[in-house]
Amino acid sequence: MSQNASSYKHYYGYAPASGPKFVGLSAVLTSGALTQSFDLVAEQADDVIEYIQSIYIDNSANAQPVAFTFGTSNQKVQIPANSQGYLPVLCPNPPHFTVSATAAGTVNFLLLNNPVPATVWKVQ
């Protein structure tokens, strides 16, 4: 006896069917503006990235911690001074968030649509 079986792709909540993606951005914080807001509505509309599940933050060049606060969830993640790391985030669509610090500096970061386990490391 033989069976006819088919397989189908399905969304499991880890990465979208289109595959893992990231968007790279920088926050340039100045003494006059220690908070910068970001809105990824246009990137979502253009299908650049479907949603955000994790963030990689490069704060290696800054002597102060940097905080990210995500819109609707109001989740706040902070990366220590002179550190880098991956952090899971709660960033409901549409993605809105702010980056803030206590002193001027530039922070580079990647927004990922797939989950990554949390890990932070100090950079010498």
- For the record, the structure tokens of 49 come out as 């990235």
CB atoms within 10 A of CB 79: 24
Rounded to an integer, what distance in angstroms lies between the CA atom of residue 36 and that of residue 99? 5
- Contact of 57 with 85, CB cutoff 8 Å: yes
Provide the residue-wise pLDDT of the chain in tens; the chain has 124 residues.
556 554 455 455 566 777 888 999 999 999 999 999 999 999 888 888 888 999 999 999 999 999 999 998 999 999 999 999 999 999 999 999 999 999 999 999 999 998 889 999 999 7
DSSP 92: P
- For the record, the structure tokens of 53 come out as 């599940």
What integer pLDDT is reported at residue 10 of this predicted model?
A: 46
Give the domains, in start order, of the chain with CATH numbers.
Answer: 22-116 (2.60.120)
What integer pLDDT is reported at residue 5 of this predicted model?
A: 55
- Contact of 106 with 28, CB cutoff 8 Å: yes
In the block, tokens 């905080």 appear at 67
